[in-house]
A and B are shown apart, each in its own frame.
Chain A
Amino acid sequence: MMPPATAGGIVAIDGPATRISLTRRRRRPGEAFFGTGVAITGGIVLVLIGAMIVFLIVQGLPAMRHYGFFSFLTSARWAPSEAKATVTTPNAYGIVQFIYGTALTSIIGMLIAVPLAVGVALVITEIAPRRIKRPLSSLVDLLAAVPSVVYGFWGIFALIPAIRPVVDFLTSTLGTVPVIGAAFGGPFFGVSYFTAGLVLAIMILPIIAAVCREVFRSTPRDEREAAFAIGATRWEMIRIAVLPRARSGIVGASLLGLGRALGETIAVTMVIGNSVLTINHSIFSQGATMSSVIANEFTEATEPFHLEALFVVGFWLLIMALVVNATARAIIRRGVAV
């Protein structure tokens, strides 16, 4: 189609015959290849998560078929040596005590880590002078850089001897009180739920603190200044201007820490004692978590359905971690992008 003759008030002759063809496409096969390749790498994450769920089920399927899908969740007795290929009830591989262990150690960890992390984050954002903010943050982040196995090793030889006197005191006092005493009773062998919870607290503190730092930092400066302007003290300013907005962020941060605590394996294995038979009631007694039992028994799972049962544990651990992490991320995204 030919271009129109006049426009805009000036008569102009259209230019000479075309010198360049705009349809000339250089051969660009690389372009589509690149775009597709990049899209595939983007999709890998989705494939991986889906595949994990599928393959853990596949590996655990023989045990699930043998004992029934939910029977694992209704028994707290893990006794591989009692498993027989011909016996389907009771389930020799009850996993409730591992869920208990995971939950207990994580809760202890969070009870200690969350207040500490919030405090550390507040100090970094509100109290520390400008010059030391960044070094301070970096130092706290270093806690996350220490490998898990080193924490476990240190936990055995440094932490346990240090807390022993305190725990012995607690077991001899709190442990003798009726009703709640069972939760604090001795004897204390060093390795325990409580010890694992302590180590977890150290390990999850940096990630909770980092998220809280971002959350507190996003408090609008005007609100801070408004609080000071009406004569609030520093703590009151924090309470009025910083913390209220940060509530959901702190919850999200804590959930992230919880997610990390759920999955922590090696340090926990080294300091929890790996008593897998059943739930032990005192927090100072030995125990096991979902991840520690997998790590501990994997290479020696020779009984019938033993290995498959460990995959069932892994499957439920994956589900828990997915739920906690997805919730944490959803909460945090709504607040601050971290």
Chain B
Amino acid sequence: MTTESMPLVEQVSRPRPASEQLTSALTLDGLGAWFGTRNVIADINLKVPARRVTALIGPSGSGKSTVLRCINRMHELVAGARVEGRVWFEGQDVYDPDVDPVTVRSEIGMVFQRPNPFPTKSILENAVIGVRIARTAAGRGLAEIGEAALRRAQLWDEVKDRLHKPATTLSGGQQQRLCIARAIAVNPALLLMDEPCSALDPIATFKIEQLIREIAEDYTVLIVTHNMQQATRVSDFTAFMTIEHAGEAGHLVEFGPTERIFGAPTRPATEAYVSGRVG
């Protein structure tokens, strides 16, 4: 379905002043990942600019989700999984032996493909659960943090009268915004989003894309998406990953400002993908 034909959808990206200096919030240095003996991604080198939205696009199977999961040390939770290379975040290598993976995960937020609020908890409890786990606030402070996060996620008006109802009473799009609120309530420096709209209807998708542009002012967002139009609407920068043949490891082909990647890609593989000829 082409989004250009839908009146509701706007070009939501806002141009940034050219003079603003870019800093990198996250640097991937020779990142590679395995499931047992299967090499999923290899030699990924990428600097993700701070307080911008960076999209990670590519055909399915190219390892985009794996890249995300290597950043917040989720990949290693699977039996037999292995990571090589370095991930520089907050000036430290996330895989340094002195680094505590639990702390890493509490500083990096993640939103998953299917909305997954905790079913036994209320809307408010879901929003603040990250804060309770980290024990950085309690009591009334929690309620305030919860409200702030829900407002930021543009969900507050819709739920303020039923904060104590179970989270499962929300619609899919609302649940996903709740998951975003949950992730940002702990004030992470980096927000990872793994195809957050792929399970949602177009209107919910639109709301979330708007939300992403909004919060990018305060958070660095790295979003994996299958949907190229979404990448153009939402992101400032785009990284393109692919695999040539089945069974190979995914690798990074090109990275740059979104307009350039889609308008004038420098690599043939990129050009083939974004023009729809491949993938």
Chain A residues in the interface with B (C-beta under 8 A): 1, 3-4, 6-10, 12-26, 28
Taking a contact as CB atoms under 8 Å apart, the answer to whether A22 and B255 are in contact is no
Partner pick for B90 among A1, A4, A13, A20, CB 8 A cutoff: A20
Taking a contact as CB atoms under 8 Å apart, the answer to whether A4 and B255 are in contact is no
Residue B27 lies at the interface, judged by CB distance under 8 Å to chain A: yes
Does any Cβ of A come within 8 Å of B23's Cβ? yes
Q: Give min CB distance, A26 to chain B, whole Å.
A: 8
Given contacts A1-B93, A4-B27, A7-B46, are A13 and B103 in contact (CB under 8 A)? no
Q: Are B255 and A10 in contact (CB under 8 A)?
A: yes
Rounded to whole angstroms, the CA-CA distance of A253 and B21 in the bound complex is 72
Q: Are A7 and B89 in contact (CB under 8 A)?
A: no
A20–B21 touching, CB < 8 Å: no
**What separation, in Å, do the CA atoms of A240 and B228 have in the docked complex?**
52
A10/B47 contact (C-beta < 8 A), A3-B88, A19-B90, A20-B107 known: yes
Most chain B C-beta atoms within 10 Å of own C-beta, residue among A1, A4, A6, A22: A22
Instruction: Identify 4 new A-B residue pairs, CB closer than 8 A, beyond the known A12-B22, A18-B90.
Output: A7-B45, A9-B254, A23-B100, A25-B102
| Interface assignment of B184: CB less than 8 Å from any CB of chain A | no
A259 to B5: give the CA distance in the assembly, Å: 69
B-side interface residues toward A, CB under 8 Å? Answer: 21-25, 27-29, 45-47, 49-50, 86, 88-94, 96, 98-100, 102-104, 107, 135, 189, 237, 239, 252, 254-256
A8 lies within 8 A of B22 (CB): no
- Residue among A4, A14, A19, A24 making CB contact with B100, cutoff 8 Å: A24
Known A13-B21, A22-B89: A8·B252 in contact at CB below 8 Å: yes
B88 to chain A, nearest CB (A): 4
Q: Which of A3, A20, A23 has the most chain B CB within a 10 Å cutoff?
A: A3
How far is A149 from B107 in the complex, measured between Cα atoms in Å?
A: 60
Cβ distance B101 to chain A, nearest Cβ, rounded Å: 9
Q: How far does the Cβ of A18 sit from chain B's closest Cβ, in whole Å? A: 4
Assess whether B107 is in contact with A14, with CB atoms less than 8 Å apart: no
Find chain A residues with CB under 8 A from B96 CB. Answer: 22-23
Q: Which residues of B contact A21 (CB under 8 A)?
A: 90, 92
- Whether A23 touches B98, Cβ cut-off 8 Å, given contacts A3-B88, A12-B23, is yes
